[in-house]
Amino acid sequence: MTTPVYDLFISYNSRDHEQVSRLRDELTELGCESVFLDRLHLQPGLNWVDDLEAALLSSRSMAVFLGARDMGRWQLRERAWALDRTTSEDNYKVIPVLLPGAKPPLGFLQQQMWIDLRQSENPRLLLPDRERKQQLKRLVEA
């Protein structure tokens, strides 16, 4: 079976799944045609680790969604893999995306330009529709 090529691989803490899933739908509506989201693309009953690795290898960029909680165990691995890939592939992008309650990224991720979906007056709320769509367009165009 051939692995599809993904424009964007979404890395996130599973506790943020509901919000990230809605944002993935918005990204698709904005023209990001091939977005990998684990729960939509990994097949039940199959070796998901191999399939996840194949999706990472076939992605053109990664969005690392950061929420109010720490990064998840698998998300940490995905982030490390993606940042390592940027050292050998100039065109591969790793884009931190701040969700409500997130603090700006630390460590190696702070070297990447991020997209902030938090409301500045209340960082615990998601940006209103129009502003959010403008920010998500930046992610689609990356």
Q: How far apart are CA 37 and CA 48, in angstroms?
A: 12
1: pLDDT strictly greater than 60:
no
Computed from CA positions of residues 15, 16, 18, 21, in that sequence, does the dihedral angle turn out positive or negative?
negative
Do 116 and 99 meet the contact criterion of CB atoms below 8 Å apart? no
Smallest Cα–Cα separation from 65: which of 108, 12, 23, 139?
Answer: 12
Q: According to the model, what pLDDT value does residue 31 have?
A: 86
Mean pLDDT score of the chain: 88
Do 53 and 75 meet the contact criterion of CB atoms below 8 Å apart? no
Q: What is the mean pLDDT of residues 44-70?
A: 89
Distances (CA, A) of 44 to 2, 10, 20, 21, 51: 18, 19, 20, 18, 11
Q: What is the pLDDT of residues 85-136, one digit of tens each?
A: 999 998 999 999 999 999 888 788 888 888 999 998 888 888 888 899 888 8
Conformational region of residue 25, where left means phi above 0, alpha means psi within -120 to 50, and beta covers everything else: alpha
Phi, psi dihedrals of residue 36, rounded to the nearest 5°? -90, 125
Q: Two tokens at 140?
A: 């689609």
Q: What is the pTM of this model?
A: 0.88
Confidence at 10, pLDDT banded by 50, 70, 90: very high
